[in-house]
Structure 1
Amino acid sequence: MDLPPLISASEIPRVREDELESKSGSENAECNSGDEEEAGRHPKKKRYHRHTQHQIQVMESFFKECPHPDDKQRKELSRELGLEPLQIKFWFQNKRTQMKTQHERHENQQLRNENDKLRAENIRYREALSNTSCPNCGGQTTPGEMSFDEQQLRIENVRLREEIDRMSSIAAKYIGRPPGSNPFLPSPLTPETFDMYGPGDILRGPAGLSSGEVNLDKPMVIQLAVSAMEELMRVARVGQPLWIPSLDGNTEVMNEEEYLRGFSRGVASTNFGLKAEASRETAIVIMNNANLVEMLMDVNKWSMIFSSIVSRAATLEVLSTGVAGSYNGALQVMTAEFQVPTPLVPTRDSQFVRYCKQHEDGTWAVVDVSVDNLQPGPLLRCRRRPSGCLIQEMPNGYSKVTWVEHVEADDRAVHRIYKSLVNSGLAFGAKRWVSVLDRQCERLASVMASSFPSGEVSVITTQDGRRSMLKLAERMVISFCSGVGASIAHQWTTLSGTCGDDVRVMTRKSVDDPGRPLGIVLSAATSFWLPVPPQKVFDFLRDENTRSEWDILSNGGEVQEMAHIANGRDEGNSVSLLRVNSVNSNQSNMLILQESCTDPSGSYVIYAPVDLVSMNVVLNGGDPDYVALLPSGFAILPEGPQGIENGGAGSLLTVAFQILVDSQPNAKLSLGSVATVDSLIACTIERIKGSVLGDLAQ
């Protein structure tokens, strides 16, 4: 939480004279003039030391870094500033008191504002209830004269109208339409419509938007968001008959007929070729609800946390930032592209509205729903039905997250070896989102750790160095994930690989990116199936002792782990700094930064060569953003649900390399460079297959 602005120490209230005298003795008091006899006739007047501007500035600066200096630090300050240690102590005490008072004053003002808001809402509710009419005769009535069901329906009607009015008012300034002229405002709730559709359907309107520019009727977007929120709350919480056990009994499957029966107004798509996928998953994660909500509503944080799933994302328009300084009521139109880490599965591009709300029981909910049908547009390959998560606060900074992923998608272009994974919903489903979120929350907790966990092997001696290395590894992982999928931003060229598997290659120009080496970068990736369990492949690739069996760069040399940072409960989640003691003198003392991560949805081993000078800067806490990286590595996915549940079956392995082929950005790519990369991939695959299949046969 940000601290309030610092105030000059000269403005800090002085300690009473008798208190200061009792604490500091007579050091700060002097006689005005005259001898002892003169002093005896006139009471002594105390003259207190007034700090110079330089002393104040030094102490202010020190206070920002350390509000509670110890004895040693106070003595050092006293020597530097020419003050007594006791004077230093009193100044810091006064400063802390002032900051605490200022902070409490700020919090009190926030509480007063919240109280005024609640009081105003209460008045509006009372007025709305007092103005209700009898459903039979139309005359005025009071809540006590209505049945309980009718009373609850009318209270719900008032609440929904309040929400629509508030959000319509926000949108009115964008379109110049009076708030009360919303032609899509639903009719009041009645027992008949409640029984027919349920509260989640009353406000349902059209759902969708073309993938071009944002040109939407804002009240329709608002109506759609409120309706989607109601649906998400119901879908996330109900059981059978909407959700039924799968055939293996380990997962839930949505009953599509039951869904269409209860949520048929404007949510089902008639687009040819789209198939519905629905999944739900719950987990306890180590992040409080406020930080989770902020992460989901900030597109940069969201795409960074889910970099293995979200290949591109942007906020197109913000309709509401929320109320009372929170994300409660925040509404924004977004676009995102979702991927699987392989060039063999097409990405899913979607444009949707994201709406955040805190409900009366304290639960936060964030919902997405496609806006592709709000105006005519081209046929899309993916459409998001109301999807998102419910976040409930748990003790000790944890949160319970219930995630619902519900889409219609065209998966006809998926490569045959990934069909089982995609058709099961595991490639893009709720289990993958929750698994990645849980792992990333553990990683963030590791970054924020105030002490070195026991058992870490490291040449890092400071917390700043540890954080810099983790930040560099995070950028490496994001760069790898953004370059390995089948994003529409990539111009892949397919080559017939010498290893029997097609290799996709593309080139990138790096001109002014400090995180990439200058010149032409060639990216190459291929995916293939291995009849080996994913865990076995992951353990083999991340182990520095077996690295020489597949890594051509190590050239058969010994690999030594210089630093090891744990990133969660699973020992496979870690960041390492490796030294390759190559037999080749040109590669002597080469360093490799590596991050390995695993969760129930898949595993990664990602690495990049780093030079010794740059890495020393990082290990000493320097800025890692200026270290040039070309990440390569592996993505290991289960071939289907059976691989996730029992850790067996086969693996879907993606191998990807990034290589600088020319340091001149305007140079042309040669066929020799492509052939070199193709040969590198082929040799790596052959070595991996030879090692893991050989071990399996033994």
Structure 2
Amino acid sequence: MEYGSGGGGSQSPREQDSHERRKRYHRHTANQIQRLESMFKECPHPDEKQRLHLSRELGLAPRQIKFWFQNRRTQMKAQHERADNCALRADNDKIRCENIAIREALKNVICPSCGGPPLTDDSYYDDQKLRLENAHLKEELDRVSSIAAKYIGRPISQLPPIQPILMSSLDLSMASFGNQGMVGPGPSLNLDLLPAGTSSSVPNLPYHPPCLLDMDKSLMSDIASNAMEELLRLLQTNEPLWLRSKSNAHERDILSCEAYERMFPKPNSRPKNPNVRVEASRDSGVVFMNSLALAEIFMDPNKWTELFPTFVSVAKRIQVISSGVMGGCSGSLQLMYEELQVLSPLVSTREFYFLRYCQQIEQGTWAVVDVSYDFPQDSHFAPEFRSHRRPSGCLFQDMPNGHSKVTWVEHVEIEDKTLPHRLYRNLIYSGMAFGAERWLATLQRMCERLTYLMVTSNPTRDNLGGVISSPVGKRSMMKLAQRMVTNFCASVSTSSGHRWTTLSGLNEIGVRVTVQNGVVLSAATTIWLPTPPHTVFNFFKDERKRPQWDVLSNGDVVQEVARIANGSHPGNSISVLRGLQSSENMLILQESCIDSCGSLVVYCPVDLASINIAMSGEDPSHIPLLPNGFSILPDGQGEQEGDGASTSSNSIRSGSGGSLVTIALQILVSSLPSAKLNMDSVANVNNLIGSIIHQIKASFT
């Protein structure tokens, strides 16, 4: 077969015909367009005779004349529709404002005869509706009472009121790892007594919003749209809105409050409170997940909580205000509640009622915005509301190989009625505790963890004779470790949503002791170490140094018998440890993770049979867990305070500064009905955690 040369090769008849058709296309001249426009004004639908006359006059084919008039009519129709839509939108906005004004005016109307609100037709029908609902509820109550009487022997109304259970004392029994080294009286650790999880599910909300009206939903849609516009400008604008500054040899973005107020004037904003402090931060990075998958996770509260277990203690969707286009994420608007935490009993959680709105900006680019929503109908709720989220959120942009560039903005108002604890004052005032850098670092680490979960070739080590290197076994082990970390975070959190009842509060050594359902005691405290965070992390991660701090092991040396890497950093891994002197049937499951803003080392005793179940790929959700561990954060020393922007502490990266280390233990107590809890039990917990603190401090002096 011969090929033609690049310049004068022969062309097929089809190519020649296509080339000739392309050559025939040309633009109309200005005179031709002017004549066609004048004819269109006189007659938008010319007949064949008129088109023939125009073609001869202008030197165009009749077919061209016909198509020009068709396109012009379509264009005019679209213009009229846009104008009608704008007029209708303006009328709709005017009517909405009038309705709001009328509704506010009706609140102040007083009936001249009785001094109360006037009886309107709506009030009459509302009264009738309430009477019908009351009658229906009475019928339901009678029906339920008759059914209950058959089983109880008497109506529900005759039952005595339920009395609250008063917790008197429960004899504490603690056992060391491997049934050695008892601390206090009682039986050894029996994992069969534990429930599968040690924290409750989503709790009741501290505030229940009233039923939303269509007008409320319309107002929420307007708030979300305006917040999205503001977020996109915050994400895409640099100077003078965001200024670059160095802190600990790391550049960070500082929000200029003056430039922000000029760019986003808010005439109807709330009066300024001297106790209100503004935190603003922006950061960007690359994650191992595409933009659509990220948007779907952010719009699902359960997946959102699983993605940020160290950050989000509670997240709940209250109501879907608007469903997405074609059932997707774009255009989805939700009213949500969330509670954010720092893993320490010394830091209070932050609560937000907010609107979350997702929008696809273009192909491969998504944005999610959060903005607080205040409930004007309830005056009792506002005084307790101390956290307010200005437009904040993320922009996800697809990159090659399934990656995404994420730009994150956090912008909140916090009312400090009391000063934060002195250990966390620098970290909180710098904005790093809840800032964009910490959010993004956690997202990068968790996306990398999910990537390693799907990869079948990442290195593993198994000296147990199991099948941990198989994909199903690895996924099952990682799922078990994730549940362990989630339960650990719940045991440390100060969230009111995790039903932990405080027994002793913060005592003289700063230990918070709590109990759940009379089964598990949780003790947590935070200490400061004059050591860089990465050094502290390596200390807890090194199994050779474990006898220096693990008082429950009684100096037993441990050996790593299985390992799963769940990140590129060598510290991100899941390990199975065995004590050389302890029972062969008792092992330690441990997960360690580290990123630029902090680290975790979480572990718990698990019997060999449970490990084999997880390694074989079976569902590990029924395996009981009692996690303990350490949360390590930089102390924030050297960060600027009160500048209204988040900082990026580089303690983990650069190795500078001290560390805030939170120690948390969960201890099984006797669950027998006759058991009692006394203050000696709490004292034993305090002594135990005090001993751990002493040994840790001794290791760094």
Common topology (TM > 0.5): yes
Shift of residue 374 of structure 1? Answer: 4.4
Alignment counterpart, residue 611 of structure 2, candidates 615, 618, 624: 615
Counterpart of 1:627 in structure 2 is 623
Instruction: Provide closer, same or farther for how the CA distance between residues 413 and 630 of structure 1 changes in structure 2, counting only shifts above 3 A.
Output: farther
What is the CA–CA distance in structure 2 between the aligned matches of 1:689 and 1:274, rounded to whole Å? 37
Task: Summarize the alignment of residues 16-55 of structure 1 with structure 2, pairs less than 5 Å apart.
Answer: none
Read off the aligned partner of 1:231 and give its amino acid letter. E
Deviations 1:390-449 (A, max 9, x none): 000111110110000100012434101101000111100000100000000010011111
What is the CA–CA distance in structure 1 between the aligned matches of 2:228 and 2:347, rounded to whole Å? 30
Alignment counterpart, residue 510 of structure 2, candidates 502, 525, 532: 502
Counterpart of 2:453 in structure 1 is 447
Shift of residue 211 of structure 1? Answer: 4.4
Counterpart of 1:555 in structure 2 is 554
Counterpart of 1:190 in structure 2 is none
What is the CA–CA distance in structure 2 between the aligned matches of 1:363 and 1:185, rounded to whole Å? 37
Counterpart of 2:598 in structure 1 is 602
When normalised by structure 1's length, the TM-score is 0.67
Shift of residue 593 of structure 1? Answer: 0.5
Deviations 1:91-113 (A, max 9, x none): xxxxxxxxxxxxxxxxxxxxxxx
Deviations 1:244-274 (A, max 9, x none): 1235362111011211122122685436322
Matched, 1:433 2:439: yes
What is the CA–CA distance in structure 2 between the aligned matches of 1:338 and 1:453, rounded to whole Å? 33
Matched, 1:378 2:354: no
Shift of residue 491 of structure 1? Answer: 4.0
What is the CA–CA distance in structure 2 between the aligned matches of 1:452 and 1:232, rounded to whole Å? 40
Instruction: Provide closer, same or farther for how the CA distance between residues 482 and 127 of structure 1 changes in structure 2, counting only shifts above 3 A.
Output: farther
Counterpart of 2:352 in structure 1 is 350
What is the CA–CA distance in structure 1 between the aligned matches of 2:471 and 2:82, rounded to whole Å? 63
What is the CA–CA distance in structure 2 between the aligned matches of 1:675 and 1:306, rounded to whole Å? 34
Deviations 1:492-549 (A, max 9, x none): 344565xx6310011001xxxxxxxxx5110110001110110010000011111111
Report the more deviating stretch, 475-484 or 638-647.
638-647
Alignment counterpart, residue 183 of structure 1, candidates 97, 122, 130: 97
Alignment counterpart, residue 492 of structure 1, candidates 473, 483, 502: 502
What is the CA–CA distance in structure 2 between the aligned matches of 1:524 and 1:444, rounded to whole Å? 31
What is the CA–CA distance in structure 1 between the aligned matches of 2:290 and 2:210, rounded to whole Å? 34
Matched, 1:474 2:482: yes
Counterpart of 1:521 in structure 2 is 520
What is the CA–CA distance in structure 2 between the aligned matches of 1:390 and 1:161, rounded to whole Å? 32
Residue aligned with 2:262, SS: helix
**C-alpha contact 2:504 2:682 (8 A) present in aligned 1:** no
Instruction: Provide closer, same or farther for how the CA distance between residues 483 and 125 of structure 1 changes in structure 2, counting only shifts above 3 A.
Output: farther
Counterpart of 1:218 in structure 2 is 217
Matched, 1:279 2:286: no
Residue aligned with 2:551, SS: coil
What is the CA–CA distance in structure 2 between the aligned matches of 1:235 and 1:125, rounded to whole Å? 36
Counterpart of 1:205 in structure 2 is none
**C-alpha contact 2:598 2:634 (8 A) present in aligned 1:** yes
Instruction: Provide closer, same or farther for how the CA distance between residues 581 and 213 of structure 1 changes in structure 2, counting only shifts above 3 A.
Output: same
Task: Summarize the alignment of residues 6-85 of structure 1 with structure 2, pairs less than 5 Å apart.
Answer: none
What is the CA–CA distance in structure 2 between the aligned matches of 1:635 and 1:393, rounded to whole Å? 33
Instruction: Provide closer, same or farther for how the CA distance between residues 234 and 402 of structure 1 changes in structure 2, counting only shifts above 3 A.
Output: same
Shift of residue 458 of structure 1? Answer: 5.6
Counterpart of 1:410 in structure 2 is 415
Shift of residue 183 of structure 1? Answer: 3.2
What is the CA–CA distance in structure 1 between the aligned matches of 2:628 and 2:370, rounded to whole Å? 33
What runs of 5+ residues in structure 1 fail to find an aligned partner? 1-122, 134-139, 141-156, 166-177, 187-208, 510-518, 694-698
Read off the aligned partner of 2:612 and give its amino acid letter. N
What is the CA–CA distance in structure 2 between the aligned matches of 1:672 and 1:439, rounded to whole Å? 42
Read off the aligned partner of 2:597 and give its amino acid letter. S
What is the CA–CA distance in structure 1 between the aligned matches of 2:516 and 2:452, rounded to whole Å? 33
Task: Summarize the alignment of residues 632-647 of structure 1 with structure 2, pairs less than 5 Å apart.
Answer: 632-640=628-636, 641=649, 643-644=651-652, 646-647=654-655
Counterpart of 2:271 in structure 1 is 270
Read off the aligned partner of 1:591 and give its amino acid letter. L
What is the CA–CA distance in structure 1 between the aligned matches of 2:343 and 2:680, rounded to whole Å? 27
Counterpart of 2:589 in structure 1 is 593
Shift of residue 302 of structure 1? Answer: 0.1
Read off the aligned partner of 1:129 and give its amino acid letter. Q
Aligned residues: 498
What is the CA–CA distance in structure 2 between the aligned matches of 1:258 and 1:666, rounded to whole Å? 66
What is the CA–CA distance in structure 2 between the aligned matches of 1:540 and 1:336, rounded to whole Å? 34
What is the CA–CA distance in structure 2 between the aligned matches of 1:243 and 1:601, rounded to whole Å? 22
Read off the aligned partner of 1:213 and give its amino acid letter. P
**C-alpha contact 1:368 1:384 (8 A) present in aligned 2:** yes
Residue aligned with 1:662, SS: coil
**C-alpha contact 1:520 1:663 (8 A) present in aligned 2:** yes
**C-alpha contact 1:336 1:351 (8 A) present in aligned 2:** yes
**C-alpha contact 1:244 1:254 (8 A) present in aligned 2:** yes
Give the number of the structure whose alpha-carbon radius of gyration is greater. 2
What is the CA–CA distance in structure 2 between the aligned matches of 1:210 and 1:662, rounded to whole Å? 32
Counterpart of 1:168 in structure 2 is none
Read off the aligned partner of 1:478 and give its amino acid letter. T
Instruction: Provide closer, same or farther for how the CA distance between residues 642 and 396 of structure 1 changes in structure 2, counting only shifts above 3 A.
Output: closer
Task: Summarize the alignment of residues 327-346 of structure 1 with structure 2, pairs less than 5 Å apart.
Answer: 327-346=329-348
Instruction: Provide closer, same or farther for how the CA distance between residues 508 and 180 of structure 1 changes in structure 2, counting only shifts above 3 A.
Output: same
**C-alpha contact 2:585 2:607 (8 A) present in aligned 1:** no
Deviations 1:610-653 (A, max 9, x none): 11222211111111100000111000000013635632110000
Shift of residue 325 of structure 1? Answer: 3.3
What is the CA–CA distance in structure 2 between the aligned matches of 1:236 and 1:185, rounded to whole Å? 35
**C-alpha contact 1:476 1:631 (8 A) present in aligned 2:** yes
Instruction: Provide closer, same or farther for how the CA distance between residues 180 and 501 of structure 1 changes in structure 2, counting only shifts above 3 A.
Output: same
What is the CA–CA distance in structure 2 between the aligned matches of 1:246 and 1:429, rounded to whole Å? 16
Residue aligned with 2:662, SS: strand
When normalised by structure 2's length, the TM-score is 0.67
Instruction: Provide closer, same or farther for how the CA distance between residues 589 and 289 of structure 1 changes in structure 2, counting only shifts above 3 A.
Output: same
Read off the aligned partner of 1:438 and give its amino acid letter. Q
Read off the aligned partner of 1:575 and give its amino acid letter. I
Alignment counterpart, residue 79 of structure 2, candidates 116, 120, 129: 129
Deviations 1:326-364 (A, max 9, x none): 200001000000000001111100100100000136420
Read off the aligned partner of 1:334 and give its amino acid letter. M
**C-alpha contact 1:480 1:631 (8 A) present in aligned 2:** yes
Read off the aligned partner of 1:286 and give its amino acid letter. F
* Percent identity for Structure 1 against Structure 2: 46
What is the CA–CA distance in structure 2 between the aligned matches of 1:269 and 1:593, rounded to whole Å? 50
What is the CA–CA distance in structure 2 between the aligned matches of 1:357 and 1:242, rounded to whole Å? 24
Deviations 1:21-44 (A, max 9, x none): xxxxxxxxxxxxxxxxxxxxxxxx
**C-alpha contact 2:460 2:562 (8 A) present in aligned 1:** no
Residue aligned with 1:324, SS: helix
What is the CA–CA distance in structure 1 between the aligned matches of 2:441 and 2:652, rounded to whole Å? 12
**C-alpha contact 1:567 1:573 (8 A) present in aligned 2:** yes
Task: Summarize the alignment of residues 156-195 of structure 1 with structure 2, pairs less than 5 Å apart.
Answer: 182-183=96-97
What is the CA–CA distance in structure 2 between the aligned matches of 1:132 and 1:308, rounded to whole Å? 49
Read off the aligned partner of 1:618 and give its amino acid letter. A
**C-alpha contact 2:534 2:652 (8 A) present in aligned 1:** no
What is the CA–CA distance in structure 2 between the aligned matches of 1:393 and 1:311, rounded to whole Å? 29
**C-alpha contact 2:597 2:650 (8 A) present in aligned 1:** no
